[in-house]
Structure 1
Amino acid sequence: MRQRLLVIIFFLIYSVNSGEMAEDCGGICNEDKLVGHLASMEVLSPESIFTLAFDDMEPLCKKLEENLKSTDSYLKTCKPSDQSELYVSLIRGVRVLNNKLCCTDNKFYKRYSMFHSCLRELTNDFESCNGPADWNEEPVKEKLCKTYKNIVDCYYIKAAKVCGKDAAKAVTELVQDVINSVLSTRCSGVNSLPYVKDAMPEKYINRNGSKGRSLYSVKLTLLASIINIVYYIFFQNKQVLM
């Protein structure tokens, strides 16, 4: 929520200043305009890209399609400078998100949509997984890759505990594909996912797309199961004593 608020504030500032920008006329792309295109999609970092995946899918895909079309049209009129590579890389990340979530015939969309409702409930929890500001610009590979690994592991653990391991694998695949498209550095070991001892059992996960079981109802189900087990043990012991 805090990250999205910052994006909105930035977009408002951009809107005020956009009228002062010079035309590109087929030369080098104006960095402010590139930032403006990203701001219109609420994107300022790699994390802000895959956070969009927890929004309502249909309006999200419509928004991405419109903004990417506008961005692509602009990029045809100019050439990005080396200094603007950061913004271009974030645009690449948005394209990856769009391809994975908005092409309803692909396998990932069908898999991810089963867990979307459950994962959406973790939107605020996932914010604690985000890396420090500008981590993707870290020049030291070891530090950059460590942050990347921490982000992936955090998303996986939080998702597995509430939505199950299959959901965790789906969301971390999305996170990895987006980040890989943004970073110019390749990091090894990111695909090695952590062990989660108390992952949500798959039998408690409702795999019906937009009507996923809420966290509250899952907790109630687990509580009912525990009560039944305790009652059964108590009843059996009572029978033995009698």
Structure 2
Amino acid sequence: MTEKWSALLLLLQLLGNLESSQAIWFPWYFQRYGLVPHSFRHGGGHKNQTHHSGSTCPPGYEPKSSASKLTGEMVGCEHAGGSIGGGSGSGSERLCDDNPVLMQLARLYVVSPERIVLLLAQPSLTASCDEIADVLGNIQRSMRNCVLEPDNIYGRLADGLSYFRTEVCDGGDGSNRKRCTGLQESHNCLRELRTDMIECEAPADWYERRNATKVCHIFNDVLDCYYTRAALLCGLESAKQLRSFAGDSMGRAMIHKCEVNKRLPRVDNAMPIHEATGAGTTSPQFTYFILVNIVIGFACFQYIF
């Protein structure tokens, strides 16, 4: 009961720090689950686990022996058969408590793969990148002496967030540098796309489903929605870059590996490039119209005077 009240007070404190325009986007996760670690929420456990320990271990693991407490080590999980590598004692792999990872991701409201992509629509990419670096640094420090399970959703979300930092904040590698530049140049338009991107998000927990075919179908639906909305507001080139980045970043934040459909949705009324970016050459017809008006204006001026 004490833990529930503590979680509720923390939730109210976080909500109190939000502006009214941001509060409505507070993640559905905390409304549905509260601050519950992934391992507890998914009912992991081992037959040797006792109710007094309060820890949860995945199948094949059990709480560490009482000897670890005597040596001052943090209580965690270990393989049911002992340490990894035949019980040599030096290769023991302790599982991390994922709650610190969850708390760091909550600072950026990253509770789903789509929320990583939504960071592109933040008012300032520079400020976002600074906070992302701090969040990832804290996550790394919390995992210095332990590891997360490969299918831990918060660990995967952290991987997707790390990809965002590499590709957007650090300029990307050689093959994706052009895409990074394009996303930064179209940032003003992507900010206007924030509401559309939120409307493209899939139902809660979609990426945790066991049916890989269904998950990948939803994954590509989200990408196509991003592309269509971006094409209408920002132009086809920006839409392609957004879809490409979303596919890569979301793919790293998911347990299932999904292939991105190569066929792009058809968008009939896409925004022209020069209108989407505010740049481009003037059409010949418009130039002719301006010249005619200049000549007429000059003739009227001479007639009057």
Matched, 1:92 2:159: yes
Name the SS for the 1:205 alignment partner. Answer: helix
Once residues 73 and 107 of structure 1 are traced to their aligned partners in structure 2, the CA distance between those partners, rounded to angstroms, is: 32
Structure 1 residue ranges without an equivalent (≥5):
15-20, 209-224, 229-242
Match of 1:157 among 202, 211, 228: 228
Contact conserved, 1:7 with 1:43, CA < 8 A, in 2?
Answer: no
- Which structure has greater helix proportion? 1
1:180 is displaced (CA, Å) by: 1.3
Contact conserved, 1:114 with 1:207, CA < 8 A, in 2?
Answer: no
Letter in 2 for 1:34: V
Contact conserved, 1:157 with 1:196, CA < 8 A, in 2?
Answer: yes
Identity among equivalent positions (%) equals 25
- Report the equivalent of 1:134: 205
1:8 is displaced (CA, Å) by: 9.8
Contact conserved, 2:96 with 2:148, CA < 8 A, in 1?
Answer: yes
Match of 1:30 among 97, 121, 142: 97
Matched, 1:101 2:157: no
Contact conserved, 1:152 with 1:190, CA < 8 A, in 2?
Answer: no
Q: Which runs of 4+ in 1 moved over 4 A?
A: 7-10, 21-26
- Report the equivalent of 2:295: none
Listed one character per residue, the Cα deviations across residues 18-40 of structure 1 (whole Å, up to 9, x for unaligned) are xxx99568832112222112112
Structure 2 residue ranges without an equivalent (≥5):
1-21, 36-53, 56-73, 77-92, 280-285, 290-305
Letter in 2 for 1:6: P
TM-score between the two structures when normalised by the length of structure 2: 0.60
Contact conserved, 1:7 with 1:39, CA < 8 A, in 2?
Answer: no
- Report the equivalent of 1:80: 148
- Structure 1 residues 2 and 179, CA, compared in 2 at 3 Å: closer, same or farther? farther
- Structure 1 residues 97 and 191, CA, compared in 2 at 3 Å: closer, same or farther? farther
Which structure has the bigger radius of gyration? Answer: 2
Contact conserved, 2:117 with 2:246, CA < 8 A, in 1?
Answer: yes
Listed one character per residue, the Cα deviations across residues 73-130 of structure 1 (whole Å, up to 9, x for unaligned) are 1111212135x62111000000111111101473332111111111110101221111
- Report the equivalent of 1:217: none
Q: Which has the higher contact order (CA 8 A, sep 6+)?
A: 1
- Report the equivalent of 2:115: 48
Contact conserved, 2:26 with 2:109, CA < 8 A, in 1?
Answer: no
CA root-mean-square deviation: 2.8
Deviates more, 1:89-98 or 1:35-44: 35-44
Contact conserved, 1:35 with 1:87, CA < 8 A, in 2?
Answer: yes
- Report the equivalent of 1:6: 27
What is the aligned residue count? 202
